[in-house]
Structures are given as structure tokens and as C-alpha cells.
Structure 1
Amino acid sequence: MKMNKRIGILSLAVGIMTAGIVQSPAPARADIVWDHWTQAEALQAAGNSKAAVPHWQYLTNYYASTGDWENAALFSGKLDAYFDALGDYDQAIYYYEQENKYWVNAGKDWGAVKLQRADQIRTTVELYREENNESIVQQLSDPKGAQLAKFEPAYGTYLGVYSEQDPKVGNIFTKMASEYGKKHAIYLAYAHWGQSFPATYAKRAKEAGGALQIAWEPDDGLDPVADGAYLRNWAREAKVAGIPIFLRFAGEMNGAWVKWHGNPAQYIAKFRMLHDVFAAEAPNVAMVWSPGDVPANDIDPYYPGDAYVDWVGVSLYIEPYENGDPSLPSMLATSNVERLTRLYNTYASRKPLMLSETGVPHYSHSADEDYTEWAKLNLQRLYEIMPYKYPRLKAITYFNVDQGMASAKNDYSLSTSSEIQSYYKQLIANPYLLSEVKDASKPADHIGYVPIDAEHQAFTKGTRIIPFIKIPEVYIGKVEYLLNGRVIASQTSLPYGLDLKAGDVPEGSVLQLRIMNKAGQQVALRTFGISSQVSVDINGAVQKFEQAPVIVNGSTFTPLRAIFEAMGAKVDYEAATRTVTATKGTTTVKLTLDQTTVYVNGKATQLEEPARLVNGYTLAPARFVGETFGGIVNWNGTSRTVTITTK
């Protein structure tokens, strides 16, 4: 039929990437489809894309219902482009994701760039807060049902750096502390298959009290990589170095720009062979499997297997322009945070992750443009948001280089800008960013970070809140905090954080963030539940309870057994009579749940509120619990803290 031929030709015209002529609809339906198609084309040509939208929606749904995924994807592309240009980002994201789904159904990866654009225009508002309860922090940071990997910290993130091209440091790693205010845990060096072990770099890392990450690259491909005298000697020298070594063999193997790309089976065999050699010769070496974050679809086929990988790494960079080329689309709206999501979700339950190489340029040589504000925004995300959002991200190695050669694109250097250097020093001062590699290490202040979500709303004493905010306009004008409907803070500079005291946050509070862009327009309003809990200090030591204290009828109830035992008393419970007996020295206390009469050495005394069972734990009024065995009890309303001082 002539109609069939016309529809087939138009399918090719609209779907220029399709593999061939698609099967046309049944004749009775063809006229309807053709009408929608021609009307949409005419309206778009006349500059009336708004009126074309219903036709594109019809065509998208029609082709999806018939399994013609390529045409469904192409008409979804019309819709996502329209809504993106209109600034209706929620609708644009919907159609970008739908277009990608249709391309996947068609067996093609052409939707990847559309997902990238969806992430660029997606508004994200997340909150993270300090948490001083190690058990809560480690529940998020620990591997599920497995031991920590070699050199993995219990929680916290190792600081790493490639400094050889930094004029202030070079490969004298001891200078990092004086130039940047803190020594780093890992120093990066590059080595090439066939060359000797980089002993000088290992020596200097040892002098700086650090570990070494070695990017070992087989420049002639994988064929020469074999077990033999060269490899065995190299491994033995690694052992002699006497420091932790993270060996990143043939990284970015998923990218066609390296000579070891293209044969996953060969790559896996070589990686496994190296693992076995170093396990035998150099137990101080941790094997790091490290793809690039793109192309994502080529990552998993190269994975050598859990038994052969100690750490999963990734090379992850962002830049103002795609491939550093100002003639290509702007990448300013791309966040480094989301770039890690896929790899993290795939591997973090099995292995710790590291950013083997990462960088944020503050200057584009190719465009001759300064991006200091953008760089600071993304450095803050790199060092404050990513370790909190991804608690098993256990190392970050910064690529501290100004690409100042003739073909230069970007300046990632920390020292060529005094503002960037100062800001980096400020960021890495956080104890959560670790300066020494050792098994099960922790931040010196034992403070971690958790998301403010349904399971982590409550805090004790006080907390620091750090938001992750990403808006399509990129730059944030102002962040307002509202607590229970009242504005309590307004922030206009990074990190847009907030300090809260427990006494200001009753149980069941509502915290809202109102986000404005640089033009002063509200672009987001997000709501979070938040609460504070009563804390108890005994002789200056913060007590950790499985059941937190609660306030009932204005009285503070604290866990009876835990506090009595912390004060040196012996506690027994008789289930039949629901009676608690506690003894310390010559003092014996007996009380029965839900009764106000308490006996101290046989003498009755009355409580204003009786002891009671809460979630299986006996709680009693705090002052009674603290004073029963001679303690002095005080209450700090600002931090909502009961302090007990024993005599």
C-alpha cells in the first residue's frame, strides 16, 4: 500500500538512527497515525510546538503499545526536548527517562545521554547530619554480612592526592601537610608494565606516613602481562616497601581510549593472575579494580569477581564543557554526586569504593573562563556530600593537576588559585577525612554522618546539618530553614549548613528547606521530620542506650538498668511480680512497674510518675534513678541532657 510506504519512509526520516523500516500499523489505524504525524510536523514547523504535544504523546503511546520502541523513543525525544526548553523539568525528566527505557527495549544505549540530561535538571534536596553514636554510623558504613576489606576504615574516608605536578609539593609528599593543612593518607603514582617498581615514590609516601596508590598501566596491551621473573620481582619490591599499597591495574578498561580495552575475558584472566601473585608475594598490596564511570554499559563485563578484588575504584571527573570543548554542550549542571550512583549501588554491598582519580576544574583553558564558584560548589559535594551519601566510599584521590600544555583543557590544580587552595584546606580539616591508612580506622572525634530520613531523624545534644542541594539553574541564591513553620536561619553561602541544639527541637518537629535561585525565585520546598532525644552523661561520659530516654507528662524517663549498672549497682528483675531490685553497697532499691511506691532499704517513698516498660525496657524518672545511689542530678535544657555525678 502507498500509505504503508509513506509511513515506512517517515519512520526512517524521524528515526534516522533506526536499523531499518519498521512495520507499519494496520490500515484502519494507519490513517489516524498519519493524521497525528502530519499535524505534529506542521505545527512544529509553524513554531507551535505546544499544540504538537498531544500528537507526540499519542504517537509515543501508540508505538510503545505496538512494540515499535525506536519510534516510541523518537517521539518521547520530541516531548522531552519541548518540556526542557519550556522549563517544565518534571515533565522533561519523565520523558527523558521514558525515552531511555524505549531505547533499552530496542537494544540500544542511545538513551544514556538523555539520562544524563535528566540528572542535570533534576532538583535534589537531601539532608545529612552529624551522628556521635558509632553503632548507628557503622550500620550504614559496614559491609552487609561481611568483614571489612583489606585496609578498609570502619567509617570515614581516606584523603588521597596526585601531587607530582603541583609546584608547591611535587613528589615530596611531606609538604602536603604544610601546604594544605593536613597530611594525606594515600599518594598516587603512575607506573607502566615493563618498568621497575616505583620504589622512590613508595619511600616518599612512607616518609610522609602515607600509603601508595599505583596506577599500573600496560601500555602495549594485555598480551605482554604474564607471570614471570619481572612480575615476581616487582611484587617482592612492593612487599619490601613496607607500606599499604593500593594496586590499580589497567584502570578505565571499559573505555576505548586505552589499549587494554576490548577483551573482557582476557582482562579478567590477567587481573586474577596478578591477584594470585600479589597474594603470595606481597600481602601489603590491595587489588583495586577501577573502571571509568563512563561508558557505564561496558563496566560490569570486566569485573574479575569478588574473590579477586579488594576495592572497587572509579575515575570520575566533571568539567564545564563536554570533553573540555566549548563548542559542545555545557556540563555545568552535571553533578559529581549522581555520577557515582550506579557503580555504588552495584558494588558497595560487596566492596569498599574509592575515587581512584577525581577532579573539579576551576578554570577552563579551552574557553579561557574562570569557574571558581562552580568548582567550590562541586568540591564541597566531593568532600562533604559524597562521603555521607555513600558511606562505603572509603577513599578519594584528587587529581591535582593544571593541564597547562598546548592541548590543555582544564585546570584541576589546588594551588594555582589561592581561593581554591584555602577552600580545600577548609574542607579537608574535617576529621571524617582520614590521614592514615590502617585496618578499621575511625575519625579521631568518632563523629559520623547519616541521612535525615525516617530511620535517622532523632539526634542528641546538638547536631550540624549539611544539605545536598542541586537545582537546574546550578547556582543557589539562598536557603531558608523553617522549623515548625518558623524561619530560623537563612544561608547564602556554602555549605548552606545549620547548627541545631536539642532544646530547640521538640519531638516530632518539622524542618523545611526553601530554596531560591540567584534571581530570588523559589525553586524548591522540601520537608523533613526531625526530633531531639534526651541524653544522659554520667561523670562526663555520654551513655549509649538501646532504648533512648523519653519524656512522659513532663517528666524525663531514663533506662533504669543501664544507668544503675553504670553507677556500679547490681540489678535483678522478677518477671512474675514485675519487680526490679537494685543493690549497691548498703543500699537496696525495690520498685514495681506501673506503681508509684518505691522502697529504699525497706522505706517507702513516692514517685510522681511510676516506672514503666517502653519497648521492652524499664524506664524510670531520671532524678530518682540518678539520686538513688547518691548521685547529683542536673538538667541542661539547651542540650536536653541529664548529668549525673556520683560521689
Structure 2
Amino acid sequence: MKHTIPKRVLLIGLAGMLLSLSACSKSVLYDEQTVGLEAYAQRQVPLELYVEEEIKLGEYEPVSGVYTGAYVQKDENITGDLLAYERMLGQVQTFKVFEYNLEENLPAQELLRCMAQKKVPYIKIVLDNNYDLTPLYHLVYDLKSAYGMPVFIELYPLTTRNYAPSEYKKIYQRAYEIVHKYVKNAIVVWSTDESRVSDMPLYYPGDKYIDWAGINIYIPRYKQGERYSYEGTKQLDFWYKNFQHAKPMLISSLAISHFSRVDHVYTIHETQDQLTLFYKEVLESYPRLRGVLYMNVDMNAISNNNKEDYRLTTQPALINTMKALTLPLACENTLQIPQKDKVPCYMKYSIIGTYFEDKLYISEEYMGTCFPKVNLKKVAKKQDLQGEVYYALDELSKYTACYYKS
């Protein structure tokens, strides 16, 4: 539940009220705003605290709203046509997603079709185990010779493949420089599979070498022969908080299986719940997520050994769910060029709040991170007998826009 914090707080009679409780607790007045407590009613709760801060916008980062897109190349149900996908959803997509390799490169006519349909190409290129840059050079040549509009390139995502971290970063940085040298209006996305988020610090190429940050989330019904149970957004949360101050972010792949050939069982309702999680709850909870790209693919079309079906287009119930979720979104149909260098945005912090009776306080340990510009001498506070200081959250809201979810 989201809670707004009142802008005015009545402090009249606070000292007298505390003194009146002396029969059941020891209260000592330290100064006009600091009170020591021993047996005062105290309760700790986990909070998601959102504090408004100024951020520097990334290139093509919208001030509000999200970009949407889809990978439909392998969906025979709609003959790989993104416009057919849009008609089913009733929602125009910003991006048309492609996967690029030497065996299945990106024909010039596909780039021209993107231009004609006013779609932005979003191209995923994966690093092979030999660290070979040849596919990248081919891609750069194709883009340079046939396309002059903005293009997003998801460059060497951190996947389930194992790379030597130092070699990976070195080759990625070289590839980033090549893209920006030869491809005009290129936006380079560095992404990680959700399963590799904990390894991210080892492989991160540095802020200088990424324009946007992405995360790839695949939710199969079976994984390595075992029934897969999605554990929620813990990994996404860690990834997000690492980038929220520095880079615009998007879910660069989202795929939710509703059918597996392991057991030939459909799980439509479960998939509907997960779509709601990402297109409603996640977008509401992570203010700097600027896009979601859906991987609408039956993996059997890519490899006979892949048994998961992630397509929405074969199930009217899933299409209707997606339509209901995306229509209320402030989706951006075209790339936005920021009109300002910096804008306010809510930063998300996971903290522990402390209630003294019915009033919420924040421990001093969070102040430097969450409220660095607030003059704490002006804020009402309490101090327990262990010496820990707590600041009234509704008082802090007088100086910085903030809200919380519990």
C-alpha cells in the first residue's frame, strides 16, 4: 500500500504528552526536539521508501511513460508481423526486436520496413565463446549502409554462458567504441539475465560504456527438467537499485511460458498473474523503468529441444490480459528527446521504519543516503537508551517530496 506523508504535523503538547507517560516509562528531555525512550511502544516494519531526487536523463529517456516492444520474428501464428501483433493488442509498439548473428543476419529490407512502419529497431547481439567481433562488424556495416535513424543495440548481454570477466569487459568496451564510431544515433544497452544478477559486479564494463541498462527475465514452466517456480522480483530489485541513479533502464526481455511440452499442461491463469506483476506492479514500484520488451516466441521454433511456449498470440485470454494492462499505461509510441538535462524522479530505498506508537520514524543510519540535503537540526527526533536517533518521517517530508509503501 502506498502512503502519502502529510505536509503539516501538529507538535503542540508533545513534551507534555511524553511527561504524562512517566508512570510507565522513563522519559528524559534532551533538547527541544530530542527525547530519550525506554519502554515506549515501539514497532519496526520493512518499508519501500521513495524520495524525489534530481537525475540526469539518458539519451531518448522519456520523462514519464514507458516504451513497449516485442520480438515476433518466429511467431508463425502472425507470420512474424509486428503490426498484426499490435492489432491484436490494440497497442502501438515502440520497438521491433531482432536477434542478430552471422547465420541469421538482419536483411536491409527489415531495416527499411522499420522505417516505413515508424518502429525503432532493437537488436540483440550475443558474444560467442571465442570473443569473435566478426558478427558485430557485419551488423555495423549493415546499419551504416542501410539505416540512418535511431537504433538500440543490446550488446553482449550477460547470459548463462561463462566468460572470463576481464576478457569479457575488454571485448565489450572495444565493441561499444566500434558501435559509436560507425553507427549514428546508436543507443547501446548492456543487459544481464536475471539469473546472472549476482555476478553483475564482476562483468560490469563501467558507466562510460553503457547508455541504457537492461535485464532479461525468462519464466519457463520447466528448467533443467524440474518444475520452475518464479521467486519474485528480488533479483530485479537488486539490479534496479544499482542503476537507478545513473542510467535509464528497461526490461529488455520478458517471456512467460504458459505451456510446456514436458507435461503438455497449460497454465493460463498463472501466466496472467505474472503479466500483471510486471506490467502493473513492477512498473508502479520502479519509477525509472522506461520500457518492457516482450519475447513472443515458441522456443520450439528455434530448437526442437526447447519445449516452452512464450507466445501470447495463441491464447485470447492472454492477449486480453495484456491489452487490459497496457492500455492504461502512458506508452510512448515514438522515441522521446529530453527537453531538459535534469528532471525529478523518485529513488527507491528498502529500509526499516520504526513506529513509536502511531508515528513513523526513520533511523539516523539512513539519513545520509535517503535525505542528504535535509538539515536534520530542524527535524523532530527521538533517541532511545542505546543512543540510536530516529527522525520523524512526516517532518522529513516538509523538506523533500517522499512517500512509502509497506
Q: Does 1:346 align with 2:242?
A: yes
SS of the residue 1:204 aligns to = helix
Query: Residue 178 of structure 2 corresponds to which residue in structure 1?
Result: 277
Query: Residue 552 of structure 1 corresponds to which residue in structure 2?
Result: none
Query: Residue 385 of structure 1 corresponds to which residue in structure 2?
Result: 281
Change (3 A) 1:186 1:303: same
Return 219-228 or 206-215, whichever deviates more. 219-228
Amino acid at match of 2:326: I
Query: Residue 583 of structure 1 corresponds to which residue in structure 2?
Result: none
8 Å CA contact 1:311, 1:353 repeated in 2: yes
8 Å CA contact 2:77, 2:314 repeated in 1: no
Match of 1:209 among 99, 114, 118: 118
Deviation at 1:195, TM superposition (A): 6.8
Change (3 A) 1:417 1:302: same
Q: Does 1:425 align with 2:326?
A: no
Q: CA RMSD in A?
A: 3.7
Deviation at 1:314, TM superposition (A): 1.7
Query: Residue 440 of structure 1 corresponds to which residue in structure 2?
Result: 338
Distance (whole Å) between structure 1 residues aligned to residue 204 and residue 242 of structure 2:
11
Q: Does 1:154 align with 2:63?
A: yes
SS of the residue 1:315 aligns to = strand
Match of 2:93 among 170, 176, 184: 184
Deviation at 1:184, TM superposition (A): 0.3
Map 1:23-42 → 2, pairs under 5 A: none
Structure 2 unaligned blocks of 5 or more: 1-44, 340-344, 352-357, 361-397, 400-406
Query: Residue 251 of structure 2 corresponds to which residue in structure 1?
Result: 355
SS of the residue 2:193 aligns to = coil
Distance (whole Å) between structure 2 residues aligned to residue 217 and residue 396 of structure 1:
19
User: TM-score, with normalisation over the residues of structure 1?
Assistant: 0.43
Deviation at 1:348, TM superposition (A): 2.1
Change (3 A) 1:416 1:450: farther
Amino acid at match of 1:285: A
Change (3 A) 1:169 1:224: same
Map 1:40-59 → 2, pairs under 5 A: none
Query: Residue 265 of structure 1 corresponds to which residue in structure 2?
Result: 166
Distance (whole Å) between structure 2 residues aligned to residue 269 and residue 195 of structure 1:
26
Q: Deviation digits for residues 260-288 of structure 1, max 9, x if unmatched?
A: x3222222222222222232222311111
Map 1:542-621 → 2, pairs under 5 A: none
Query: Residue 604 of structure 1 corresponds to which residue in structure 2?
Result: none
Distance (whole Å) between structure 2 residues aligned to residue 382 and residue 449 of structure 1:
19
Query: Residue 12 of structure 1 corresponds to which residue in structure 2?
Result: none
Map 1:436-475 → 2, pairs under 5 A: 436-440=334-338
SS of the residue 2:188 aligns to = strand
Query: Residue 249 of structure 1 corresponds to which residue in structure 2?
Result: 155
Map 1:394-413 → 2, pairs under 5 A: 394-404=290-300, 406-413=304-311
Distance (whole Å) between structure 1 residues aligned to residue 242 and residue 71 of structure 2:
27
SS of the residue 1:153 aligns to = coil
Query: Residue 236 of structure 1 corresponds to which residue in structure 2?
Result: 144
8 Å CA contact 2:72, 2:297 repeated in 1: yes
Change (3 A) 1:235 1:157: same
Q: Which has the higher contact order (CA 8 A, sep 6+)?
A: 2
Match of 2:76 among 162, 167, 177: 167
Distance (whole Å) between structure 1 residues aligned to residue 178 and residue 133 of structure 2:
16
8 Å CA contact 1:162, 1:397 repeated in 2: yes
SS of the residue 1:246 aligns to = strand
Change (3 A) 1:367 1:194: closer
Query: Residue 365 of structure 1 corresponds to which residue in structure 2?
Result: 261
Equivalenced residue count is 307
Deviation at 1:435, TM superposition (A): 2.3
SS of the residue 2:195 aligns to = coil
Amino acid at match of 1:203: L
8 Å CA contact 2:101, 2:135 repeated in 1: no
Distance (whole Å) between structure 2 residues aligned to residue 290 and residue 224 of structure 1:
18
Query: Residue 537 of structure 1 corresponds to which residue in structure 2?
Result: none
Query: Residue 52 of structure 1 corresponds to which residue in structure 2?
Result: none
Distance (whole Å) between structure 1 residues aligned to residue 111 and residue 281 of structure 2:
31
Q: Does 1:314 align with 2:201?
A: no
Distance (whole Å) between structure 2 residues aligned to residue 329 and residue 148 of structure 1:
41
Change (3 A) 1:338 1:232: closer
Distance (whole Å) between structure 2 residues aligned to residue 330 and residue 233 of structure 1:
41
Distance (whole Å) between structure 1 residues aligned to residue 79 and residue 245 of structure 2:
36
The alignment-based identity, stated in percent, is 21
User: TM-score, with normalisation over the residues of structure 2?
Assistant: 0.66
Amino acid at match of 1:423: T
Amino acid at match of 2:315: S
Change (3 A) 1:370 1:173: closer
Deviation at 1:211, TM superposition (A): 0.8
Deviation at 1:250, TM superposition (A): 2.0
Amino acid at match of 1:236: K
Change (3 A) 1:273 1:227: farther
8 Å CA contact 1:180, 1:424 repeated in 2: yes
Q: Deviation digits for residues 233-280 of structure 1, max 9, x if unmatched?
A: 24523xx42332111122234x23xxxx32222222222222222322
Deviation at 1:175, TM superposition (A): 2.5
Deviation at 1:380, TM superposition (A): 0.5
Deviation at 1:402, TM superposition (A): 2.2
SS of the residue 1:312 aligns to = strand
Change (3 A) 1:350 1:174: same
Larger Rg: 1
Deviation at 1:197, TM superposition (A): 4.7
Distance (whole Å) between structure 2 residues aligned to residue 125 and residue 241 of structure 1:
50
Q: Deviation digits for residues 7-52 of structure 1, max 9, x if unmatched?
A: xxxxxxxxxxxxxxxxxxxxxxxxxxxxxxxxxxxxxxxxxxxxxx
Change (3 A) 1:351 1:127: closer
Q: Deviation digits for residues 373-402 of structure 1, max 9, x if unmatched?
A: 111111011111111211111111111012
Deviation at 1:161, TM superposition (A): 0.5
Change (3 A) 1:216 1:193: farther
Distance (whole Å) between structure 1 residues aligned to residue 297 and residue 141 of structure 2:
31
SS of the residue 1:209 aligns to = coil
Distance (whole Å) between structure 1 residues aligned to residue 300 and residue 142 of structure 2:
33
